[in-house]
Structure 1
Amino acid sequence: MNEKGCSRYSRIAELEHLNLLSGDLQIECPIKAKNLVADAQKAKLKEKKNLRSLTLSWKGYHSEVDTLLESLLPPQNLQVLNIDGYMGTKFSSWMMNKIESWLPNLVHLTLSNVHICDCLPPLGQLPALQSLELRYMSGLRYMDTESYVICGDRFIPYPSLKELHFENIPDLEEWPTAVIVDNGGGRREVFIFTSLKTLTAFGCPKLKPKPCLPASSSSYIHFQFLC
């Protein structure tokens, strides 16, 4: 389903009782529509448990954009999420707080044309995430907001990530590649991306891994940097 145009946007509210909706859903958020947040809340996307893929897109700024994204909480079974053109100052609470509980089955995530947010949600907490694409994010400066110090046997970030793509993110300076593990017997640095197979970066002149990737990683990761 693809909602386009102000005159048609109210139809998103008609999703309220379609809890057996399955497959791919595309929602375009018109910037001039009235009652946009109320309509999104009525849609109750989180109850559409058979949805496989969700695309949320904006073509301009809406005064309630932050609240709107908050209202578009996807179902926990979602596997693919694409967010394009989001102009909010921060991501929603379901992305920033316990994202692993809200999206435990997410396999692929694309964030594109997100120009105001300067930091990402703690995406490393997503247990099933295999592919992450970050495109055209002129305001992004930090890869993650979380501090990676792991105590004991706690979760290591990005356990399943196989593909990582950066594109046209001119001010992104650091890509954190390790955590500090403290198991009570001292601290040691551990490489995060143990499942990574492909890393690509285009138009990211300041981007550097921190710390540098271990020399052994070149034997199992395909690198392509054109910054």
Structure 2
Amino acid sequence: MLCNLCNLQTLDISCCVKIRKLPQGMGKLIKLRHLLIDDCYGLSEPFPKGIGRLRSLRTLEKFIIGGINNVGECKLGEFKNLVHLKGSLEIGGLENVTDVQEADNAQLKNKIHLRKLRLRFGGRFGRVDNRRGENDELVLNALEPHPELESLWIYGYGGTGYPNWLISLTILKELELDSCDNLEQLPPLGKLRFLESLSIRASFSVKKVGVEFLGIESNRKKDEEMGSTSTSSLILFPNLKFLQFEDMKEWEEWDGIGGTMREEEAQESGVTITIMPRLQNLKIFNCPKLKSLPDFLPTTPLKTLEIWLSPILGECCQTLTEIGDQWPKISHVPNISSCK
């Protein structure tokens, strides 16, 4: 009955927590503009084939892709026709995409009104095999969003490298990388000028966070290529206010600029480096192997520091006795809490 309402423009099933899947005839609602499914926590089945016919859709908070052999389920390529989408969107089931052309066909880059994007590759199952990881890399690279995206969340991605387009999101304000288990090195996120909030969770292959994260090496190479010799300033993570690392089980080192460009080297090259000049909140949860904090931390206006379930770092800080070798880096922070 519902799918025969061909003039229906808004369908609101928000908070209907027991709904598991949408009806098979959804493609008949050709005038539908708003499909409101916020807080439908039970909605986990792939969407029915034909969603791509709903060319008038403005609001679609979730889009779940089916497997290649399930003929009644929608594929990523159907997303091509939904050019009027705006606001927030989550695409789930990306682990089911085996044909990269499907990801190309989705033409995410043409969805110019989307501001918040969530990309889900399966669940948290630990490290994925190499074949699945390689496919995830191809799919994620093909899912390049419009450069005016403001918020991005990537979950369960199995690739070892970050997508080429990530650092081209020039006005991105919020980024969360969650359960990207095979990611070996963090992207040069320091280049994202408007980034305000950054969360890295469960990247189990990351052992070191260094200058590649700040983007210093890439900037130096660029200066060398351009033959720049004049004095310049380099501000990395200029607007970052909130930074969180959680469940980084193998993470051991967090380096600042000392490993690649020491203060005297910076003076010789005429480069003044400022890192995270607006950072206010730093959270480190369940990082059991992390040994130290970066050398630039004392220059940040950090107001709140939380260290939980990170025994080595907690021992080094020893905030109660103020004798840990990391204490000078955090002595300026007014609010510090830790639990081993």
TM-score (normalised: structure 2): 0.58
Residue-by-residue CA offset, 1:78-121 (whole Å, 9 max, x unaligned): 001000000112122223xxx1xx20010000001011111111
Point out the structure with max Rg over C-alpha.
Answer: 2
Match of 1:66 in 2: 137
Distance across 1 between alignment mates of 2:271 and 2:96: 53
**For 1:1-227, what aligned pairs fall within 5 Å after superposition?**
1-6=62-67, 7=70, 8-10=73-75, 12-35=76-99, 37-59=100-122, 61=128, 62=132, 64-95=135-166, 99=167, 102-144=168-210, 145=212, 146-147=215-216, 152-178=231-257, 182=266, 184=268, 190-207=273-290, 208-211=292-295, 213-214=297-298, 217=300, 220-226=302-308, 227=310
Q: Percent same amino acid among aligned pairs?
A: 30
Q: In 2, are the aligned partners of 1:45 and 1:73 still within 8 Å (CA)?
A: yes
1:212–1:53 CA distance, 2 compared to 1 (3 A):
closer
Aligned length: 217
Q: CA deviation at 1:21?
A: 1.2
1:180–1:159 CA distance, 2 compared to 1 (3 A):
farther
Distance across 1 between alignment mates of 2:120 and 2:142: 14
- Whichever residue aligns with residue 94 of structure 1, its letter is W
Distance across 1 between alignment mates of 2:286 and 2:307: 9
Larger proportion of helix: 2
Which SS does the other structure have where 2:177 is aligned? strand
Distance across 2 between alignment mates of 1:22 and 1:187: 41
Q: Which shifted more, 162-171 or 24-33? A: 24-33
Unaligned regions of 5+ residues in structure 2, if any? 1-61, 224-230, 311-340
- Whichever residue aligns with residue 297 of structure 2, its letter is L
Match of 2:20 in 1: none
1:34–1:205 CA distance, 2 compared to 1 (3 A):
closer
Larger proportion of strand: 1
Q: CA deviation at 1:38?
A: 1.2
Residue-by-residue CA offset, 1:56-83 (whole Å, 9 max, x unaligned): 1111653511100110111111001000
Q: In 2, are the aligned partners of 1:9 and 1:30 still within 8 Å (CA)?
A: no
Which SS does the other structure have where 1:19 is aligned? coil
Q: CA deviation at 1:220?
A: 4.0
Unaligned regions of 5+ residues in structure 1, if any? none
